[in-house]
Chain A
Amino acid sequence: MTAATLPNNALIGGYLASAVCFIVALKALSSPRRARWGNLIGVGGMVIAIALTIVDQHAGPDGIIPIGMVVGAAIAVPTARLIRMTAMPQLVAIFNGVGGGAAALVSSVEFLHVQPAHPGGLHVLEMAFGVVIGGLSFGGSLVAFAKLQELLTGRPITFPGQRNLHAVAAVGIVGVGAWTVASPHLAGLVILAALALALGAGFCLPVGGADTPVLISLLNSLTGLAVAADGFALDNLILVVAGTLVGTSGALLTKMMSDAMGRSLPNIVLGGLPSAGSTEVVGGAAAAGGVRSADATDVGTLLAYSSRVLILPGYGLAVAQAQHTLVELVAALEARGVEVSYAIHPVAGRMPGHMNVLLAEANVPYESLDDLETANAKFSSADVALVVGANDVVNPAARDDPGSPLYGMPILNADQATHVVFMKRSMRPGFSGVDNLLLYDPRTVLLFGDAKDSLTKLVAAVKAA
């Protein structure tokens, strides 16, 4: 704030306008009709705050402010615009992570700047919070990104002594933090940053793939708090307001998401999923059963002569970009008088709402999408449950087997339909890595292949039937 050129009142007034924009944006983002507008209001708030700061701070040394913004935007726009819709969750993870990294860097530079002047203990504590929380979020987001990008396995990564190691790192952060506050020195800050990165990453390793969206929401909330801590360190109102808003609304959203999955938050972040041992046993038992596979003509005939069909889309549909073909199949079935509806699991795909977004792109009206409860009321009277590229969200073990790692997650009760058809690429288990006994059920048939190819064949088969 050395080169401040704006009167303090103008700056505070502008930041107030910006804060109001953010509050309105969050409110609007919670309602389907105003969500897109809400995002734009958020942009408005951002533009106000940044424009004021540019006027106040100019270009910085060597013009790094405009240079950095141009470089950042030049990377972000093409990445965010061109990436496939299926890769959206990992993009959210990485964009959250870089925010946490920026928050940690801001506190670090402030520390380097004020350290020679012997800053007070409270000021150092604020910067230490910024570095630690930002570092946790950055490290955690990188692991979440790697899991979703499948650079790491989606299954929980566990090893003996993991929790003790986390405890040691946490105690280390508190100890080094206290040491740094007592006598501010660079080494303390570097160790804090390293420990926070390691703990953030380690914390996320045991979280199962299906729980990753909840994890990203938690990390998002953490980044908000890191930004608020920076706001305290820099005595900057808008950082405190916006960071805190994201911190607490993000915490609430995290709870809503874990509730939607029927998982408790402590269970997700502390427990991870139980060890893989029980899974192996289930897999072994199931392997003995064998599966029935069918070709598209059989399945097409089954569908064409049904009176009620429920469609359960999953990640496989998104990967194959087969949503338009699926809509064609539904139209062909409806033309024959078959009653068809979509059963949408809240976390089908890789993020909550993934399937809604995908089907909306194919112009499926929201009214024809049934949520978990509505759909589950229909299965017992359905002739066919057609599972298109989903797996974990129909695994009966989540309902029936207390020993299963998935136990407790609400599922679509596809096993209550008269027939179950799985469209799958292979016998691979779902993202959680847990085998699905429904695949071996005598009422189940499997139609192997890419979802788009299979659906195209089904459309032809239904029309021919």
Chain B
Amino acid sequence: MKISGMRMREKLIVRVIARALIPFILLFGLYVQFHGDFGPGGGFQAGVIFAAGFVLYGLVFSLADLQRVVPWPVVELGVALGLLLYGGVGVASLLLGGNFLDYKVLDSNDAMQGLHLGILLVELGVGLAVSSSMLAIFYAFAGRREAR
């Protein structure tokens, strides 16, 4: 990525600020993820924010650097595992005697605890799948020029 003739990674300010910001972006992503059951937020938004941290890294440094951190197979795995985690919670509640995605049966003593656990795991699945999908889309677009 180039700005006014210079590669972005050669710009000191961009590099330093990005380095400083990325941990906070990831942290904020996690906050939105785990805050989702009590307030605004949830897996989808968290997934996008979390992936945005990685995308920023890829933009400022390079796609190759990013792909060293998160290789393509990991992204593919993330998409699949996220969906499986979501569906797995549904199947688990099915096996525990409830209907599909009936979280209440996940905790045998306290239905509220079960609900809480269920939504937490489902949102985690969503977060994983969404952040991996965002990265997959970024890889697909950013990798086009290099593929030629």
Do the two shown chains form a genuine complex with each other?
no
Binding site for A on B (CB under 8 A): none
